[in-house]
Amino acid sequence: MEQTAPFTPRVPFKLVLASIAGVWLAYFALATLRGWLVGLEMFDALLWRRILVTLGSMAVTLALWPIVRLLDPRPFWVKVGAVLLMALPASVLLAAINQAVFADIENRVVATIGEREGLRIRSDESGNLLVDPLEREAEVAATPAPLPTAAPVATGAARPTITINAETRADNRLRQLVDVALGRYYLLLAWAALYFSLANAEQARAAERREGKYRRAAKASELRSLRYQVNPHFLFNTLNSLSALVMTGKGQAAEQMIQTLSTFYRRSLAGDPTGDVALDQEIALQRLYLEIEAVRFPERLRTRFDIPAALADARMPGMILQPLIENSVKYAVSATTRPVTLTVAAREEYGCLVIEVADDGPAAKEAKPGFGIGLANVRDRLAARYGDAAQITSVPVAGGGWRSQIRLPLERHD
């Protein structure tokens, strides 16, 4: 069977753009601040050219991004080596852009500085740079023309013109290109490091989402398993009751129990076993169950429900009350010949939904064998659904009977 490569989460394009803009805008801000602090000549002219260089740098980095993105699933050392190599030509390109944008203004800045220092700087046809002291021109202009009959008067030796040949200028431009390229190389590496950090963060978030998905699947499986544990136990007890009715010749009562049992299972199996139901739905289901048991114990089973209308839409796990009510029927109603009242009540308390199942059956100091199985099922379901936010307590009542209380977060139906 063909295996597909594992999916590697990608950094969102908007986040990539933000990282590129962040790095180069930081460069622009720092370079501009430096120029302002040191008082560079022609600050305004340099500013808009620096803006062009920044936009060009963003474009080159964006063009580099699709290649860098291919390294996302690669090992760390492969990423480092590839970026170190790829950033070299890109940094040279950025340095060339910088040199081209600032080429015209460089001569103007040099000339301005030369005038301030008393020098006239110009280029000849061969590309050589000529530096003339301005005092030399002033001295020549101020020297009077010599008299034809007089000997020439020495006015002092004129300062010679300084010539910087074209080869030297080319070497200087090359050194300048290399210097700028090294700075851009560092900025490209900084952006690559930022991008890989974002990629790792995205992969970590994807791993968390996968882990959460697996946790939810495991939780749903656990809830489904615990829920299905209730149905066979209940069905076993009900079939025993139905068998007793048939054996004692109570055919009409048996028929009524079968119809009610059919309705009960149709409703209980209709919903998602891992989902929640409204409190009024859970109570309606338990009323059907007690109707089934009332066929067995028409004189002994009495029921009372105290469910406020304001809590009818409160959410809870389906059939969470079933084991508790079954315990009361099995260990209270069937264990005595006198009438037993089974009470189901609900209330809101400090942001929690509190549900009680109580009976006034025979006194018991501790739970009978088998009683704890139903409680364990309810406890496990609450823990799987709510963690530590829900709990169940079950204690004997003074004077006779048993009371079980479920406390869980109050959640309303959306």
- Letter string b/e over residues 219-256, b meaning 16 or more CB atoms within 10 A of that residue's CB: eeebbeebbebbeebbeebbeebbeebeeeebeebbeb
Nearest CA-CA partner of 23 in 52, 49, 62, 79:
62
9: confidence class by pLDDT, cuts 50, 70, 90: confident
Q: Which of 11-15, 249-253, 407-411 has the lowest mean pLDDT?
A: 249-253
The pLDDT score that the predictor gives to residue 150 is: 44
pLDDT at 7: 54
Pairing of the two strands 352-359 and 340-349? antiparallel
Identify the band that residue 154 occupies on the pLDDT scale cut at 50, 70 and 90. Answer: very low
pLDDT at position 147 is 47
- Global pTM reads 0.48
Closest residue by Cα to residue 92 from 181, 165, 21: 181
Give the pLDDT band of residue 123 (cuts 50, 70, 90).
Answer: low
Closest CA to 9 of 154, 194, 209, 189: 209
pLDDT band at 3 (very low <50, low <70, confident <90, very high): very low
For residues 374 and 326, is the Cβ–Cβ distance under 8 A?
yes
Domains of the chain, start order: 13-117+170-210 (no CATH), 250-409 (3.30.565.10)
CA 60 → CA 6, 27, 119, distances in Å?
30, 15, 39
Torsion angle (degrees, nearest 10) of CA 74, 80, 84, 85: -30
Residues 106 and 110: their CA atoms lie apart, in Å, by 6
CA distance 238 to 293: 8
> Can you point out the beta strands (E) in 21-70?
none
Give 168-208 pLDDT, tens digit per residue: 555 667 888 888 899 999 999 999 999 988 888 888 888 78
Q: Tell me the pLDDT band of 136, cut-offs 50, 70 and 90.
A: very low
Taking residues 38-43, report their average pLDDT. Answer: 72
Reported as a pLDDT band with limits 50, 70 and 90, residue 48 is confident
Average pLDDT, the chain: 78
C-alpha 178/C-alpha 184 separation (Å) is 10
336-348 mean pLDDT: 94
